[in-house]
Chains A and B, each alone.
Chain A
Amino acid sequence: MQKVYSQILEIEGDVITVEAGDVGYKELAEVRTKAGVSLAQVIRLADKKVSLQVLAGSRGISTNDQVRFLKRPMQVSCSENLLGRVFTGNGVPRDNGPALTDNFIPIGGPAVNPARRIVPKNMIRTGIPMIDVFNSLVVSQKLPIFSVAGEPYNELLARIALQAEVDMIILGGMGLKYDDYLFFRDTFEEKGVLSRSILFVHTASDPTVECLLVPDMCLAVAEHFALKGKKVLVLLTDMTNFSDALKEISITMEQIPSNRGYPGDLYSQLAARYEKAVDFQGAGSITILAVTTMPGDDVTHPVPDNTGYITEGQLYLRGGHIEPFGSLSRLKQQVNGETRSDHRTIMDRMIQLFADYRGTLEKRSMGFQMSAWDKKLLKYGKRFEDELMDLSVNIPLEEALDKGWAILSDVFEPAETGIKKSLIDEYWPKEKAMK
């Protein structure tokens, strides 16, 4: 017999407090209001007082509304039926499909034993040269895209999702603009990947608390499928909104803020999500690609800063392209040795030459005279930007490497590239070597 409590003592922010007994920490409850039924989760127990965060927000809750505890933690239904569906942050269908009730699994499960992890070694090809060639994405990697408002980060995320060689895509939208949500859904549908995708979307107008659940929902489902042998790609956008939601709740709970109002456990909270990225030995894998918008384009802001310490590198999206400097895939060394013998050399030399090009640009803007070498660099830089860096370029890794050789050979003499002789002999386009 489940007890119903109908005396709400406090309402503050999205947190309500009732007096109740036999309630577990993090247990779920239902709050019945005039407007309908909302879920709520226990976030503090103090003697008889139970504080709950109301997923739908506290607006319209009356002090005599009914609270019923459900004797279970937050769960998500997890089966093949999820594929192709769209849900809200707390697992309610957002499309017109039926609610799912089979095979509930808890969210926010325990961490993977480090002794059972394996060193990642498989590349995920995306068709984007700036990723494939220069910062290879690796199975089980957690990689954020650092960007600022106005940049096409969601478009980039969608493109990677469409082209990545994975079995399933799980999209977690946090504080997403409604347009962006429609963009993801329509793009996935058009390109025919919706049938192997699951979307958990919290839009900017939805209650804050729901935003907090999105990553856990996505990752619990991802874990379920990964253990069944699926190669899962999880997209999370935007983790800064998630962090802001954390901030909101912790301030409501009168926690002492640490840095710019964010709670002291921001690092642990983010890490608990990102560290779900894993390659299960003998089963599938989870790869996480996230978006972190940097308020004020400031990488030392607590959210990108803490993220950088957690993730395995980062991609900077600036001025509509993936910035070659600062972007880093920490795991690329694990995979780019086995793709093609020229991969590492092309990666290193083209970036170094591009750095020289940037130096030349600076020199030019200061009015210094351009030497013959400078002119070559300017020509090189322009072609690099147009033919490799531009986000619309969509070619497989091998073709991108060939393109690299084509650009180098059009602009430079073999010796000027500083590439060792054996590779020049093998890859330098023959017709040009003649001249």
Chain B
Amino acid sequence: MVNTKQRTGKVAGVNGNMVVVEFEGRVMQNEVAYVIVGAERLKSEVIRVRGKRAEMQVFEDTSGIKIGDHVEFTDELLSVELGPGLLGQVFDGLQNPLPRLAEKHGFFLKRGAYLDPIDDHTTWDFTPTVKAGGKVRAGDQLGTVPEKMFAHWIMVPFALSGELEVCTIAAEGKYALIDKIAQLKDGAGKTYDVSMTQTWPVKVPIKAYVKKIRPTEPLVTKIRLIDTLVPVAVGGTFCTPGPFGAGKTVLQHLLSRHTEVDVVVVAACGERAGEVVELLEEFPRLTDPRTKRSLMERTIIICNTSSMPVAARESSVYTGVTLAEYYRQMGLNVLLLADSTSRWAQAMREMSGRLEEIPGEEAFPAYLESRIAAFYERAGLVKLRNGKTGSVTIGGAVSPAGGNFEEPVTQATLKVVGAFHGLSRARADARRYPSVDPLDSWSKYTSFIEAERVRKGIAILKKSFSVNQMMKVVGEEGTSTSEFVDYLKGEFFDAVYLQQNAFDKTDESTTADRQKYVYALIEEIIDKPFEFKDKDDARKFFQELSQMFITWNSVPFRTDEFSKSEKQIRDKILSGAISK
């Protein structure tokens, strides 16, 4: 590996995880370099160049680095390896496979220990789909290999430009990951050897598609509150800000389990390690109802927890989105969940502080907004060159300081997302889960339930809320029975439809069909003019109705028991209706 043209430098300063390097010749912005400390090689990235000095963020603990230590530049941007074998894996922010690191180095994360993300010697059954002499472009399929439940596309490297001719293509058979499977020739006659793997710089979006399409189709998350009131579109973006303890992570876990997509990438960015461990423990045991296979097989976990080096935390969300884009290129629908983007923003703030940049609001760098925007813009529904579509949907958790949504990260995120799921402390304290505030939250996408019907539900919630506010002042006795019934209807809608029991096997996820079916009945109840003897009578009626509904919610859809419960509910409604 001795390269005579290796560009090198020497350490000239250390401040936290920032190292100043004096280099010879040239240096490239965002280039990866290694600081050599004894036997350890510490991965770093150039983030600013001034004269003959480059400032680099080091992805590792910087203890022991000395002035004059050797630095090697690589001429490569921070990249990930793409290829079959990524699904079901657990990586750190730099795409090191954590389980294999553990096998090698034990309990602790050893500094400067890097491993190949996908083992070069794994073999795959390759089936070519192009013939020698064919014309291809970047991102086109050359062949497929089976990976878990998908036919994983082996594609023309995204970095190649223009039309290329297939000179040779491997015959059907077993090949190692790094074996040459094709040779391509560009217009100028230059040839390229292609294997089943390629690398791609994480901070650059993959653009090997025809065009982006406006996302309109609703993404089914099976969480009723989200799907009905504040839906997300396939290829859209959403954010979930919330104070600590409001249930952000639980909500993200539910989304990662139930959302109807092909692949889920979970980027656990600067959060508790214990939460990732829960995913690691439960996902292999859960089955995906769509494919009947383990949930882990459709999941990739990028895990850079809060005690792992900060600079790698910044790169972990980019690693996640790049992997998501890669699977999108195969015509799959991918969901990227980033928990939490605030930690990523804080990592930027730490680095910006060390660079002594002029700070913006709350010391976040001035480029915070553009970075957040650029990240969410990597979501989207795209039309591929073969006419198929693929999508990346991005959902980011935000952890606002003090639970205050006015802070810079939340505000910058709200500007660029299509749906806002604001979690409320009050709802969480009242144990109303999911604690997404139905009145404050919004979505620019449309639900699979018609808009005017959804408005009806929102109207009753608003009415109920205002009656409740009024009752706090004038008491129950100061409200009319009809207003009181509206209040009860709103509370009923919240209790039996918006709230969902994550511990109940059936209730934890509701299919689109069931949501439509149940919402229709809710609508009937909202519309129905009820008349009661007095308020206690009304309250009792709705309490009983809620109880029956909640029982109904845990009965599997379209079973005999389901119809039986429904019948009881309908009888109950009749008994309480105007006839009384």
Contact = CB atoms under 8 A, between A and B. Distances in A.
A27 B359 contact: no
Contacts of B276: 114
A267 B346 contact: yes
Given A24-B64, A114-B273, A268-B346, A47 B403 contact: no
A99 interface: no
Given A119-B281, A265-B310, A280 B107 contact: yes
A275 B313 CA distance: 15
B110 A110 contact: yes
B272, B278, B310, B349, most chain A CB atoms within 10 A:
B272
Interface in A229-275: 255-259, 263-265, 267-268, 271-272, 274-275
Nearest to A298: B402
A300 interface: yes
B66 A25 contact: yes
A310 B306 contact: yes
B349 A23 contact: no
A111 B20 contact: no
Contact of A264 (B61, B278, B349): B349
A45 B353 contact: no
A280 B106 CA distance: 11
Interface stretch (A163-171, A199-207, A301-309, A381-389): A301-309
Interface string B267-301: 00011111011101100000000000000000000
B102 A47 contact: no
B67 interface: yes
B150 interface: no
Nearest to B343: A267
Contacts of B305: 111, 114, 275
Given A264-B350, A267-B343, A268-B350, A24 B273 contact: no
A196 interface: no
B574 interface: no
B363 A309 contact: no
A23 B67 contact: yes
A275 B14 contact: no
Contacts of B85: none
A26 B362 CA distance: 28
A276 interface: yes
B278 A119 contact: yes
B550 interface: no
Contacts of B111: 110
B102 A116 contact: yes
B534 interface: no
Contacts of A309: 244, 271, 399
Size class of the A contact interface (CB-based, 8 Å): 35 or more
B12 interface: yes
B402 A264 contact: no
A48 interface: yes
A427 to B, nearest CB: 22
Interface in B42-81: 61-68
A203 B16 CA distance: 27
A263 B359 CA distance: 13
Interface string A305-330: 11011101100000000000110100
A258 B347 CA distance: 12
Nearest to A42: B14
A115 B99 contact: yes
Interface in A19-76: 21-27, 44-48, 73
B401 interface: yes
Contact of A256 (B14, B61, B245, B359): B359
Given A45-B14, A258-B349, A300-B404, A114 B65 contact: no
A46 B22 CA distance: 12
Of A267, A280, A302, most buried by chain B (CB within 10 Å of CB) is: A267
A47 B307 contact: no
Interface string A164-186: 00000000000000000000000
Nearest to A250: B353
B20 A256 contact: no
Interface in A363-409: none
A267 B350 CA distance: 10
B244 A308 contact: yes
Grouping DSSP codes into helix (H, G, I), strand (E, B) and loop, the B interface class, with mixed when no group exceeds half, is: mixed
A32 B223 CA distance: 66
A257 B102 contact: no
Contacts of B346: 264-265, 267-268
A359 interface: no
Q: Which one of A108, A112, A300, A328 has the highest number of Cβ atoms from chain B below 10 Å of its Cβ?
A: A112
A103 interface: no
A177 B399 CA distance: 34
Interface in B197-245: 243-245
B273 A112 contact: yes
A192 interface: no
Contacts of B90: 114-115
Given A24-B64, A114-B277, A305 B14 contact: no
Contact of B14 (A25, A115, A116): A25
A120 interface: yes
Interface string B80-98: 0000000000100000001
Contact of B306 (A108, A117, A264, A267): A267
B275 to A, nearest CB: 9
Nearest to A334: B278
A147 B131 CA distance: 72
A111 B15 contact: no
Nearest to B277: A117
A309 B269 CA distance: 13
A117 B274 contact: yes
Contacts of A276: 307
Contacts of A331: 274
Contact of A255 (B64, B105, B106, B353): B353
Nearest to B364: A258
A306 B106 CA distance: 30
A73 B402 CA distance: 36
Contact of A305 (B11, B61, B65, B401): B401
A115 B403 CA distance: 31
Contact of B12 (A47, A112, A115, A325): A47
B101 interface: yes
A229 B102 CA distance: 19
Contact of B105 (A113, A263, A312, A325): A113
B350 A118 contact: no
A140 B272 CA distance: 12
B381 interface: no
B317 interface: no
Given A46-B13, A112-B109, A116-B107, A25 B273 contact: no
Interface in A97-155: 108-120, 140
Contact of A312 (B272, B349, B403, B429): B272
B62 A113 contact: no
B244 A114 contact: no
A2 to B, nearest CB: 15
Most B C-beta atoms less than 10 A away, residue of A27, A271, A310: A271
A22 B64 CA distance: 10
B479 to A, nearest CB: 16
Given A111-B307, A267-B346, A271-B306, A119 B277 contact: yes
Contacts of A280: 107
Interface of B: 11-16, 20, 61-68, 90, 98-99, 101-102, 105-111, 243-245, 270-274, 276-278, 280-281, 303, 305-308, 310, 343, 346, 349-350, 352-354, 356, 359, 362-364, 399, 401-404, 429
10 contacts: A21-B68, A22-B68, A47-B13, A111-B307, A114-B277, A114-B303, A115-B98, A258-B359, A268-B346, A276-B307
Given A45-B11, A110-B110, A265-B310, 9 more contacts: A45-B15, A113-B105, A114-B277, A255-B354, A264-B350, A268-B350, A305-B402, A312-B274, A313-B245
Query: What are the 9 A-B residue pairs with the smallest beta carbon separation, nearest first?
Result: A300-B402, A271-B306, A275-B307, A258-B363, A308-B244, A115-B98, A26-B63, A111-B307, A45-B14
